[in-house]
Amino acid sequence: MPDELAELVAAAKAGDRKAFDALVQATYAHAYTVAFRLTGNEEDARDVVQDAYLRAYRGLKRFRGDSSFSTWLYRITANCASTQLGRRSRHRHEELDDDAPLADERPEIDPELRASAESDRERVSAALLALPPRLRAVVVLRDVYDLPHEAIAAELGISEAAAKVRLHRARRKLRERLFPLRAEATGEEDARAV
């Protein structure tokens, strides 16, 4: 896949619109996932991805290839998500719930397992959204996209040590939110040890 993407990037830089369309198709799912994890909202994620691809298209001639196209695109997407989050904080609005059930086209699995998995996904998403954006960005880039600390630091414009500290804080906050009883028990043990 990386060689295939490199060929598409070279063709797109040369002006081949179909090659850029193929790049979009090859990377869209990952870019959308980054955007959704950072914004926590489907509509905002779609806007972020659209903006990211527009910026990538306009800046493709300046892409030097120091990193992979995917990494470059993720950085653009993270920057666009940060901009979107800033806009959203200035223009707060209440979400409208749509109670209409959606058709489930997935193959039949145990309803209890499906409900449990859905509940877990909702809890993790809520916990991620509860994190401040700067902590959320670090944990998404590290734990979802497996970027190394140095790449995260470069992406966010911070030191590698700061990236590690933010990741530690983000994971601790996630643990406290997802497993409150365990966090309380650990806190009590820590208090007794002092």
**Residue 99 placed within a domain:** no
pTM: 0.55
State the average pLDDT over residues 140-155.
85
pLDDT at 99: 64
Confidence of residue 85 (pLDDT cuts 50, 70, 90): confident
**Residue 34 placed within a domain:** yes
CA 124 – CA 174 distance, rounded (Å)? 8
Domain of 78, in residue numbers:
1-91
Q: Are residues 26 and 87 in the same domain?
A: yes
And the tokens for 170? Answer: 């983000």
Give residue-wise pLDDT tens across range 50-77: 999 999 999 998 888 878 888 899 889 9
CA 128 – CA 2 distance, rounded (Å)? 30
Confidence of residue 191 (pLDDT cuts 50, 70, 90): very low
Please report where in the chains the tokens 């609005």 appear, as a residue.
93
